[in-house]
Structure 1
Amino acid sequence: MKLTALLKTLGLMALASTPALAGTAPAPKNPIAPAPVDDDLGIVASIGYDSNYVWRGINYGQHWVRAGLNGGILLAGGAAEDGAGSTSLLWDVNYGSLAGDQDSFSPSLPAFVGVPTTSSFQRLSLGAAVSHDLGPVSISFGYSYIHNMGLLANGSGLNSIPGVTGGYGMNDIQQLTLGVSSNLGPVVLSSSANYDLVNGGWYFDLNAKSTIAVTDAISIVPHAGLGYGINYNAGFTQASRNLIGGGGVNGIFGGSAYTKGISGWTALNVGIDFPIKLNSRATLTPYVAFNLPMGPFQNLARSSTQPYAPGIGGGPATAFHSVAYYGVTLSVRF
């Protein structure tokens, strides 16, 4: 009896442990690992330093410190669904300041004139654009607001001098931008057309870059950019444009006044970035670059030989001279 009972018990246990009879499917031989949770917010934060702040061919000054945020929000598509591509909202916020107020516009005048020989300058820019990625080509349309601050923006002290008509400084900039970019093998080409709604004038650029991988963490990225303006004035007021053009204070002391704006090639900018991937999210990017003013901008460099007023010299400084500069950016993706 005991042997018979033991055999019945073992039989029932075997039946219960059989997957088909127990009501559970057998485990796969090669189980698929669960997909990782995507915790990337699509936001990049950055801080950086530039030995010179060069923007659209103009050298605004030395020792520029900056910080920024940028990101993208997918609006439609993704992974080139049905060949239709994807549409995203791109945005960015950037702030920079000249450390030590070493601008490139202030004159070297005697103390009795009362004009500061250095001027502070800060810039806050906000931008948003809708970008459509078609695969080989991406197009975008956006708006940006640039708020200029500091003595350089409000007139560098010139407006407070008795007998000076005033109006010196910079306006804020509001621009519409139409951009396009394409990959041509290892080279990425991009171009944009920008119109200033506040100050008028167009600015166009053409840029090329290529990424050369050295290791899994280090790359070399040579790049070049070329600018072209049509009545472009970079936000400078009429009085400042006359001064920059060599017209002197009040624009009456000779020289060729920079009356409407720049029409023609502005500058060629070339450089090399050296991005270093610190980990999966952080990248350190040192760079070196050279800015070469062209055409009208090159002629404006001669305005530094024009006096602010007869007998006291000290015309505009080196904003339109060629300059070699360098910098570094630390960016972290969240």
Structure 2
Amino acid sequence: MKLNALLKTLGFLALAATPVVAGTAPAPKNPIAPAPANDDLGINASLGYDTNYVWRGLNFGQHWLSAGLDGSILLAGGASEDGAGSTSLNWDVKYGFLAGDQDHFMPGANPNVDASFQRLELGAAFVHDFGAFSGSLGYRYFRNMGVLNTTGAMNDGQEVNLGLATALGPIDLTTSANWDWVNDSWYFDLGASTTIAVTDAISVVPFATIGYGHNMNWQFSDRSNRANGVTANWVPSTRTSFTAVTAGLKFPVRLNSRATLTPYVAINAPLSGIQGLPSNGTPDNYAGSVVYGGVSLTVRF
């Protein structure tokens, strides 16, 4: 009796251990969820408003509205999981205009006539991650439009630029050298920032930038037909010195996994390269210190 019971038990165990026929395997008790499809295009779309359009230390005007697209295309993967050694192509398209044509350049003799100004920027750069720092080599095209362009005799701009970025502890450092061969000018800058997390969704980002220009002209030309328009007494190509210090606070708020709202406030303090520019009787001082701010909305697709 005991032998028969033992044989029955062994037979049962052997049957249980026999592989089941394909297609009849029972479902696992804890199935692994399939990985979600990657529908991220790697493109950021942004809309922004700035109380003042300050570009390289010069205050162009009030109420700047802008929109843009940017993205990054991975060209070569890194040698390690953190991406060190990777090479990418970064690109961006930006368009902005002075709402209400409230520029800061029209002569004071005609304070009620404001000059329109629009700017289109197209940029692309190769970026390589060296691990301790990243470097970039790029090109940027500026298309200046509007009355400020025609009356002020502005040129379009074409720049090649070299940039470096690294981190010293919690401080992020960036620097760039930009040569505009159309306007025969150079612009260098050094920036620092750090990110302070307040909550999982809200951060505070203090930042500061200082600029230096050689033959800085902010893309205005020296043509003599400026006499009745913008910067009539300004010979900008003589400017070689520090331009301005800009410092402020950003407050990025992550609305969801794809959208971020970023208000900011800043002060622009011109240095010798801008302080010496003639006021030219303008109703607003484009060369003076200004406290300004704005907000941008960025959505990733």
- Where on the TM-score scale, by shorter chain, does this alignment land: which range? 0.7 to 0.9
Output the CA distance in 1 between the equivalents of 2:104 and 2:224. Answer: 13
CA distance, structure 2, for counterparts of residue 46 and residue 82 of structure 1: 27
Partner of 1:89: 89
State the 1:226 CA deviation: 0.4
- Which piece of structure 1 moves more, 37-46 or 222-231? 37-46
Alpha-carbon shift at residue 77 of structure 1 (Å): 1.0
Aligned partner of 2:298 in structure 1 is: 331
> What is the Cα deviation at residue 298 of structure 1?
1.1
**Displacement after TM superposition at 1:34 (Å):** 3.3
Question: Against the structure 1 CA distance between its residues 95 and 83, is the aligned structure 2 distance closer, same or farther, given a 3 Å change threshold?
Answer: closer
- 1:130 equivalent to 2:97? Answer no
Does the 8 A contact of 2:220 with 2:236 survive in 1?
Answer: no
Which residues of 2 match residues 203-242 of structure 1 at below 5 A?
203-239=187-223
Deviation at 1:292, TM superposition (A): 0.4
- What residue is the counterpart of 1:310 in the other structure? none
| 1:262 and 2:262 correspond | no
Cα RMSD, aligned residues only: 3.0
- Alpha-carbon offset, residue 204 of structure 1: 0.2
* 1:101-156 residue CA offsets vs partner (Å, 9 max, x unmatched): 0001011215xxxx96310000000000000012220100000101000000111x
The residue type equivalent to 1:202 in the other structure is W
In structure 2, the CA distance between the partners of 1:134 and 1:240, relative to structure 1 (3 Å rule), is farther
Relative distance call for 1:229 and 1:280 in structure 2 (3 A) is same
Residue pair 1:109, 1:117 contacting (<8 A) in 2 also: no
Give the whole-Å Cα distance in 2 for the aligned partners of 1:69 and 1:40: 15
Residues 248 and 294 of structure 1, relative CA distance in 2, 3 Å threshold: closer
Change (3 A) 1:83 1:284: closer
Deviation at 1:171, TM superposition (A): 0.3
Pick from 136, 141, 148: which aligns with 1:145? 141
**1:21 maps to which of 8, 16, 19:** 19
2:261 pairs with 1:284: yes
Displacement after TM superposition at 1:78 (Å): 3.7
Listed as ranges, the gaps of 5+ residues in structure 2 are 1-8
The answer to whether the 8 Å contact 2:143/2:157 transfers is yes
Deviation string, structure 1 residues 172-195 (Cα, Å, up to 9, x no partner):
000001000001111100000000
5+ residue gaps, structure 1: 1-10, 156-167, 252-256, 307-313
Q: Point out the structure with the larger helix share.
A: 1
**Could you tell me which amino acid in structure 1 is paired with residue 88 of structure 2?**
S
| TM-fit CA distance, 1:27 | 7.1
Shift of 1:32: 4.5
Q: Write out per-residue CA displacement over residues 208-241 of structure 1, whole angstroms, 9 at most, x where no aligned residue.
A: 0100000000000000000001112111011489
Q: Does the CA-based 8 Å contact 1:50-1:65 persist in structure 2? A: yes
What is the TM-score when the length of structure 1 is the normalising length?
Answer: 0.79
2:244 counterpart letter in structure 1? A
Contact 2:215 2:236 in 1 (8 A): no
1:10-68 Cα deviation digits (max 9, x unpaired):
x9xx7997363325688777655433322211100000100000110011000000000
Structure with greater strand share of residues:
2
Q: Which amino acid aligns with 1:75?
A: L
Task: Give aligned-pair identity as a percent.
Answer: 57
Matches within 5 A, 1:54-133: 54-78=54-78, 80=80, 85-109=85-109, 117-133=113-129
Q: Secondary structure at the match of 1:154?
A: helix
**CA–CA distance in structure 1, aligned partners of residues 100 and 293 of structure 2:** 17
